[in-house]
Amino acid sequence: MNIMLLGAPGAGKGTQAAKLVDAYGFAHISTGDILRKAVANQTPLGLAAKKYIDAGELVPDMVVIGLVKARLQEPDAEKGFILDGFPRTVIQADALGRALQELHKKLDAVISIDVDKGVLIKRLTGRRMCAQCGAIFNVVSQPETGNGVCPACGGSLMQRDDDTVTTVTNRLDVYERSTAPLIAYYRDKGVLRRVDGNRPAESVFSDVRAIVEG
| Contact residues for ligand AMP, defined by CB under 6 A | 9, 31-32, 35, 52-53, 56-59, 64, 85-86, 88, 92, 162, 171
Strands (E), 73-183: 81-84, 109-114, 127-130, 136-138, 157-158
Q: Is 13 noted as a catalytic residue in this protein?
A: yes
Q: Minimum distance from CB of 90 to ligand AMP (Å)?
A: 12
Q: Is 88 noted as a catalytic residue in this protein?
A: yes
CB nearer ligand AMP, residue 88 or residue 123: 88
Helix 61-72 and helix 31-40, axial crossing angle in degrees, nearest 10: 100
The residues facing 5 across adjacent strands are 84, 111
Q: Minimum distance from CB of 136 to ligand AMP (Å)?
A: 10
Q: Is 171 noted as a catalytic residue in this protein?
A: yes
Q: Residue 49: how many CA atoms within 13 Å on its side-chain side?
A: 25
Q: Minimum distance from CB of 76 to ligand AMP (Å)?
A: 19
CB nearer ligand AMP, residue 119 or residue 214: 119
Do 128 and 137 touch, CB atoms closer than 8 A?
Answer: yes
Which residues form the catalytic set? 13, 88, 127, 160, 171
